[in-house]
Amino acid sequence: MAYDIPATSLTAGQSRRALVAGSVGNFIEWYEFGVYGYLATVIAGNFFTLEGQSGLTGLMLTYASFALAFFCRPIGAIVFGRIGDRIGRKPTLIAVVVVMTIATAAIGLLPTYASIGVAAPLLLTLMRMLQGLFAGGEFGGAVSLMTEFAPKGKRGLYGAWQSFTVSLGLLTGVGLVALLAHLLAPEQLTQWGWRIPFLLALPMGLVALWLRLSLDETPAFKETQAEGAVLLNASFGETIKAIALGIGRMMGWSAGGYTFLVVMPSYLQTSLHATFLQALVATVLANVGFALAILPAGMLSDKIGRERVMIAAMGVIILLTFPLLHLLQDAQSSLLLKGIAVLIAGAAIGVVAGPGPAMLAEMFPTHTRYTGLGLSYSLSNAVFSGCAGLIITGLIKETGNLDIPAYYVVATCVVSLLALGGRRA
């Protein structure tokens, strides 16, 4: 069953303000996660260097910390989803962005392993878990806000801005890291340069707070409050089924997105022996392809349906993943061909991510939308995004098989294809 979100008689200005206010938190969230992923090898050297262990082991520990933060997201989705469905989207999104920003900026101030020993990785992991906890309340609220304020016939486009600002956050993160890698000597980047991207989250968070303080509550939520609907009332079983289906539909999006857009730099460096700068350039191209495809895909879904667009994109990903990866592995392939390969990979994920937020929003009624959206998204990301680096790096270390990323992406996309092809009764 798909739940319609009633069209409202809001002005264009109100809809645009909601779009920007909802998007800015997503930008900060994914900027931080992108920066952490792009700086994984530097962070591993500063926080997870263990005597007698290989660099790959340090990288795996870095990704383990990465995964822990993702597993805090479902907890945040439950806590803040429940609050957001009971007291409103606006106050919940304000609280989320404040703490998320503070935790991100604090990472840039942490002492390293060389300074305080084992306390350093523990503090880093704690900050990432805190960031993940509050980030878990971001997606459900932001997408609820965007889709509930969307003009008639534009829900797919408005929801696509969530994914688009994810791409902007990732691109800003990788662009800043690439700039620092170009301007600073390697030892400067390792010693102090890596802190800069995390500290810049603070002014970003202040802008986000200002935008959300001036926001109105959504008409759909006001209407539900007036009717006295209770969160997860008689529809508890239906909500759980919808969340499970949502996870299945998101699985390929989560795994493919993080494999191609975030894990790629470390894979290219540790497995294909690319330089740090080469790996970042490849990731920029993948994220550019991702960004370019999102909004057109969202608009197309308003015309022909969410599932149709996403099914077509999943099929393309399944067919092209192995050929694209083999092209990257081929030492004889030109840099131009490799650039085109990562651009196509990013664009395919973008076509899935464009209609995805609106598709999920329409799976839940207003009084459970914040919670349902957040849990579907966060659980899928916790398992299939947060663990992507750990799973891929660990399996490559154990098997030596450089095709592991392709197997991972294809397997998850097959499941999503089946989930998208079915309909909830």
Residue with tokens 């991207």: 197
Whether 59 and 41 have beta carbons less than 8 Å apart is answered as yes
pLDDT at 170: 79
Tell me the C-alpha distance between 310 and 154, whole Å.
17
pLDDT at 230: 47
Burial class (CB in 10 A: 0-12, 13-18, 19+), 55: middle
Whether 358 and 246 have beta carbons less than 8 Å apart is answered as no
Whether 118 and 105 have beta carbons less than 8 Å apart is answered as no
Question: Phi and psi of 68, rounded to 5°?
Answer: -60, -40
Tell me the C-alpha distance between 416 and 356, whole Å.
12
3-state helix, strand, coil in the chain (%, to 5): 80, 0, 20
Name the 3-class secondary structure at 109: coil
Question: Phi and psi of 224, rounded to 5°?
Answer: -65, -40
Residue 123's identity, in one-letter code, is L
- With b meaning 16 or more CB within 10 Å and e meaning fewer, what string describes 211-237? bbeebebbbbbeebeeeebebbeebee
CB atoms within 10 A of CB 157: 25
Q: Is the dihedral of CA 50, 46, 70, 125 positive or negative?
A: positive
Q: Chunk the chain into consecutive blocks of 10 residues (it has 425) and report each block's average pLDDT, rounded to whole numbers.
A: 60 81 87 80 77 59 72 89 88 92 92 84 87 88 88 89 87 85 87 92 92 84 67 64 92 86 69 71 84 95 93 93 83 77 89 94 88 90 76 82 88 93 57
Q: What is the DSSP letter of 263?
A: I
Every domain of the chain and the residues it spans: 12-421
Is domain 12-421 annotated with CATH 1.20.1250.20? yes
Tell me the C-alpha distance between 115 and 293, whole Å.
44
Tell me the C-alpha distance between 98 and 205, whole Å.
7
Tell me the C-alpha distance between 101 and 170, whole Å.
16
* 68 contact partners, CB below 8 Å, separation of at least 6: 125, 128, 129, 132, 386
Whether 285 and 395 have beta carbons less than 8 Å apart is answered as no
